[in-house]
Structure 1
Amino acid sequence: MGKRSAVRITNTVSGCYTSAQLTFSEHDVAAEPIDDNPAGLAPDHRDFVTALATGLQVIRAFDAEHPRMTLSEVAAQTGMNRAKARRFLLTLHGLGYVRRQDRYFELAPRTLQLGYAFLSANNYQAVIRQHLEHITEVTGESSSMGVLQGSSVIYVARSAAPHRLMTIALSVGTHLPAATTSMGRMLLAMLEPDALSKMLRDMPLETYTPRTVTDVDKLRAHIDEAREQGYCVVDQELESGLRSLAVPVYNMHGNLLGAINISTNAARVDKKTLMQRFLPLLQKTCREIASQVN
């Protein structure tokens, strides 16, 4: 089993603007890398635009731990030399995505457009939110929708319960490791076998709790089981006390939109309740979404 480490929780939607290195309750938390190239296009491919990738890397260097940085700090965060980092910072400043005050640089509000462009381009978001809010109202638990990006699941819609489940604050745009989340595993189960094999081969498997599955074969078995069942349960693998259930959600044409889940406290909601009460509700919700979303 691997060394317990930290997860980098990045909030892309709200935007590239709040990313956090956050500590889970029972262990030290080191960064889980966000896949900058989920489509698999190699950096040496003739269609790969290195300058664009580097510019996005600079934007993503700013987070809750590093909201304002000097040129030297940006260079250190991105692994660039000072001259290269300076050119990209000044370009982003000229485009309005970075603000400058004396020696310090920080992201400008314009970066929010990058995340909200995704939300505005997907008009089903309002429908999804209504259904998630209904789930929270009925169960008293948090409910979310996520999509897969590389080795991470990204939260694209969320209805939070009044009580806090985790030591971190989840919101739209948050990234979590797909391997240790119910939505992530459910979405991995939707991949073609070859794509899944490649993903698992390249995916970092970190230990977050004593229950975390870090063996690739065991993880593959859990993912295969989720595919066969049509739902996925992850029990206290990302954080002790956190139990979640996820199902895939489709539109009326049968196209996969993502996965929705219910997150609960293991001490408050047992597995019987999860399966007998929450699973039928999630499945009913998915049918309703499929009938409403084009």
Structure 2
Amino acid sequence: MIARADFIDGMAKGMAVLESFDTERQRLNATLAAQRAGLTRAAARRHLLTLTHLGYLETDGSYFWLAPKVLRFSGSYLASARLPRALQPTLDRLAARTGEAFSAVVLDGDQVVIIARSGPATRMLAYGLHLGARLPAHATSTGRVLLAAKAKAEFVAWLKGRELPRLTAHTVLDPKQLRRIVEQVRQQDWCIASEEHELGVHAAAVPLRNLEGRAVAALNVVTRLERLQGPVFAREVLPLLQDAARELRPLL
């Protein structure tokens, strides 16, 4: 916790406005930004104008949208953070060996964030599965793996009162069902999610643990549905992910 005297309200409000922009709402006016950031319209407007002046937003006079300058944050993180740099060579090797797409993600609140990924250049990527993308934890294989890594009491607190948005007709929305799924993932230490985040996307994930046994990220592969079923999964896909996780452990 931070001491109240050290907390800068203006910075927090400005960041709340900046974080109001996402794939659901790429363009916001002052009223929408105020609703999303929990501010008055006048305050939201001042923050929008300031962020525009600083180059982080662009505007047509009524609506605002993110400017390329915001990529400085993600670019600096990906260039300097140890975790993406440690994971990338392994993802590249897996993709070259199999011709499939691999990602490493971390949990951030109710979403997972892709911090490293690799796949064949000729393959069309699923929508939203790009570097830096934020995906709903409840509907993704990596999200469920990282939720299962939480202590049971911590996961219950995470889930309590949380609305689980529907993304496809296959998305699990019932909290009790999600609890059962996460408990199964906790016991088996891997997860398969099929078309819950996006139609046509089938993925399997395992946790990436450091030497202390703490899950610091998750590794997944997006592949064909038949590769995630029966003996093929147990014989080929799961050992590939588990071997990679073991190899990475000393680096995490």
TM-score scaled to structure 2, two decimals?
0.83
Task: Tell me the SS of whatever aligns to 1:158.
Answer: strand
The residue correspondences of 1:265-276 to structure 2 (distance < 5 A) are 265-266=224-225, 270-276=229-235
Could you say if the C-alpha distance between residues 130 and 69 of structure 1 is closer, same or farther in structure 2, counting changes exceeding 3 Å?
Answer: same
- Match of residue 257 from structure 1: 216
Counterpart Cα distance in 2 of 1:194 and 1:133: 36
Q: Tell whether 2:246 aligns with 1:287.
A: yes
* Alignment match of 2:158 (pick from 199, 207, 211): 199
Counterpart Cα distance in 2 of 1:58 and 1:78: 5
Q: Which runs of 5+ in 2 are unaligned?
A: none
The structure whose residues are more often helix, as a share, is: 2
Q: Tell whether 2:124 aligns with 1:164.
A: yes
Instruction: Give the CA deviation at 1:222.
Output: 1.2
Q: Deviations over 1:250-287 (max 9, x none)?
A: 23443432000011132566443222101111111111
* Alignment match of 1:278 (pick from 211, 226, 237): 237
Decide whether the 8 Å contact of 1:245 with 1:274 is kept in 2.
Answer: no
Counterpart Cα distance in 2 of 1:116 and 1:81: 32
Task: Tell me the SS of whatever aligns to 1:278.
Answer: helix
Q: Which has the higher contact order (CA 8 A, sep 6+)?
A: 1
Q: Which moved more, 1:241-250 or 1:209-218?
A: 209-218
Q: Tell whether 2:192 aligns with 1:233.
A: yes
Instruction: Give the CA deviation at 1:208.
Output: 3.3
Could you say if the C-alpha distance between residues 274 and 253 of structure 1 is closer, same or farther in structure 2, counting changes exceeding 3 Å?
Answer: same
Q: Which runs of 5+ in 1 are unaligned?
A: 1-40
Q: Which moved more, 1:276-285 or 1:72-81?
A: 72-81
Q: Tell whether 2:56 aligns with 1:130.
A: no
Decide whether the 8 Å contact of 1:165 with 1:242 is kept in 2.
Answer: no
Decide whether the 8 Å contact of 2:103 with 2:117 is kept in 1.
Answer: yes
- Match of residue 184 from structure 1: 143
Q: CA RMSD in A?
A: 3.0
The residue correspondences of 1:36-115 to structure 2 (distance < 5 A) are 50-63=9-22, 74-75=33-34, 78=37, 80-99=39-58, 105-115=64-74
Paired-residue identity, %: 34
Task: Tell me the SS of whatever aligns to 2:218.
Answer: strand
Task: Tell me the SS of whatever aligns to 1:170.
Answer: coil
Counterpart Cα distance in 2 of 1:67 and 1:197: 32
